[in-house]
Structure 1
């Protein structure tokens, strides 16, 4: 089970990552002013759409390379990853923090960061591992 403290620690460990409030005053993690992860409380429409499958705990949204990557995550781990109609056609997936381990969260955040960071910065980061 991951926490917001884990999200912040892991996200801010990535090169040039910052934490800024989003337009809704929720937490958002960015690289060069491009959001790669953000707090995404479920809205009434989300809860109505998801029904009994709606998570009751904290939800994180993260960028993914494309819609296919999102579909693969949801298919592989539907208890951790999900999407709502609000995200149709948008390369992001929702993550139920109560169900994701910290190691997997680190991987997801790294991939989300790489979706938004400049290619050269990603190459430098991955070469330094």
Structure 2
């Protein structure tokens, strides 16, 4: 099914929770953290000093973190200045990208689904990843 309408925060929750073997835990600020096998793959970040509005200096309070499959994927997602995905010095060398919830509408729901699936695949056990890929007819299985 194609659903390329603008992505929404509730899509992040539904897509992450819909992956197999996922648990949702509360982060330090009560924020949602989605894990597979005890490893976080998507989480709603509490405001931190490294992600701030360049005009006001106020900390972003709507940052969502997605793990990625590797450095190449991360670079591809954040290198375009028009991309809603970004990183901060705090995440240098970390296999993840960030997006503000207020900018989710800049990507489609289908693209968001791919980002969530890749995040899950990057953190799931090798067997779970193989099983999921095989069940979804992916050539990588």
Q: Could you state the TM-score of these two structures normalised by the residue count of structure 2?
A: 0.78
Task: Give 2:62's match in structure 1, choosing from 58, 62, 80.
Answer: 58
Task: Return the offset for 1:56.
Answer: 6.5
Residue 127 of structure 2 is aligned to residue 127 of structure 1: no
Q: Could you state the TM-score of these two structures normalised by the residue count of structure 1?
A: 0.84
Task: Give 1:19's match in structure 2, choosing from 13, 16, 24.
Answer: 24
Deviating above 4 A after TM superposition, structure 1's stretches of 4 or more consecutive aligned residues are 54-57
Specify the structure having the higher radius of gyration (Cα).
2
SS in structure 2 of the partner of residue 6 of structure 1: helix
Residues paired across the two proteins, number: 126
Task: Name the one with the larger helix percent.
Answer: 1
Q: Which runs of 5+ in 2 are unaligned?
A: 1-5, 137-141
- After TM superposition, the structure 1 = structure 2 runs for residues 8-47 of structure 1, keeping only pairs within 5 Å, are 8-47=13-52
Task: Return the offset for 1:13.
Answer: 1.3
Whole-Å Cα distance in 1 between the matches of residues 82 and 125 of structure 2? 30
Q: Which runs of 5+ in 1 are unaligned?
A: none
Q: Cα RMSD between the aligned structures?
A: 2.3
Whole-Å Cα distance in 2 between the matches of residues 90 and 56 of structure 1? 19
Residue 12 of structure 2 is aligned to residue 7 of structure 1: yes
In 2 relative to 1, CA 58–2 (structure 1 residues): closer, same or farther, beyond 3 Å? Answer: farther
Residue 70 of structure 2 is aligned to residue 70 of structure 1: no
